[in-house]
Structure 1
Amino acid sequence: MEEFKMESEHKLTLELVKELWAKTYNTDGKPDWSHILPYYDDNIYFRDTIQEIRGIVEFKEMTDRLTERSKDLNMKLVKAVQQGNDIFFEWEMTISYKKYPSSILYGLSRLTINEHGKIIEQRDYYDLWGDIFDNIPSFGKKYRKFMKKKFG
């Protein structure tokens, strides 16, 4: 897929990741991955709490679904560090679906950069249901109480 090739052979760095992610989620509330997709390897492996995706075509389809589903989506990078070929960043994502109020999801992403400077693996960690339920009056407290009682 030629449209996803990098225009230049710059390797992804911590500073570049911060710059790219800041642009990704702040385009009038609608996410736009067009500037960052070239930094993903064609064989990207992505996993989060909901899905497991292999390949740039499936990854782009996932980003398109997220854009279509959300009315508004913004991301704030809280902290970011790099250790070797891994970049970790903590984030707060505010998402508003078409029929529901805004929810803030708190998470962490790990990007693994290959020898060509592209993202070969991305793992996102977050508590999807807990963060969403926290925004529903009275239900969030019941959910947290249940989780503490059953899991700790």
Structure 2
Amino acid sequence: MDNGNFKLDADTVKVMWVKTYNTDGKPDWSHIFPYYHDQIVFQDCIQRIEGKENFMAMCDRLTNRCKSLRMDLTNVVQHSNVITMEWKMTMSFRKSPDTPIFGATRLTLHEDGRIIEQRDYYDIWGDIFNGIPKFGKAYRKFMHKYFG
């Protein structure tokens, strides 16, 4: 396969990743999968996934769980073979209201220009708990007391 068509840069990320998520329905990653190397390693605070097939299966599971999902990107920057972006992802599950989660992603590019490593950073519980009356404040107070 000629990977020349799938070399990634910060400008391409800004265009392609926003197309992935929409407010009219389920997310669709099919247009960005060619930018991922077959040996991709994905990691976030919940899981570590190795291999493109496993990564695509994880994306399908997220799609099936969400009623809707939207992502707004900010501060997409590139330094050498690393692209970093900040984001706000708004998800809605079966019976729950829209829940915003704030985070950042580091994409490391393989020498062929495709993503070989993706690391997502976010505080899933803090952002979800913020939407629960009274509980969000208690969670933040607990975190401040025990973790500074």
- TM-score norm. by structure 2 comes to 0.96
Change in CA separation of 1:6 and 1:133 when aligned onto 2, cut-off 3 Å: farther
Residues 125-134 or 6-15, more deviating: 6-15
Shift of 1:29: 3.2
Residues 12 and 39 in structure 1, CA contact (< 8 A), matched pair in contact too: yes
The answer on 1:104 being equivalent to 2:84 is: no
Shift of 1:9: 2.8
CA RMSD of aligned residues (A): 1.4
The answer on 1:45 being equivalent to 2:44 is: no
- Structure 2 unaligned regions, length at least 5: none
Aligned to 2:52: 56
Change in CA separation of 1:6 and 1:66 when aligned onto 2, cut-off 3 Å: farther
The count of residues paired between Structure 1 and Structure 2 equals 148
User: After the TM superposition, which parts of structure 1 deviate over 6 Å for at least 4 consecutive aligned residues?
Assistant: none
Partner AA of 1:128 in structure 2: I
Change in CA separation of 1:27 and 1:120 when aligned onto 2, cut-off 3 Å: farther
Identical counterparts, % of pairs = 57
- Structure 1 unaligned regions, length at least 5: none
The answer on 1:29 being equivalent to 2:20 is: no
Which of 62, 67, 70 matches 1:71? 67
Rounded to whole Å, the distance in 2 between the matches of 1:8 and 1:85 is 15
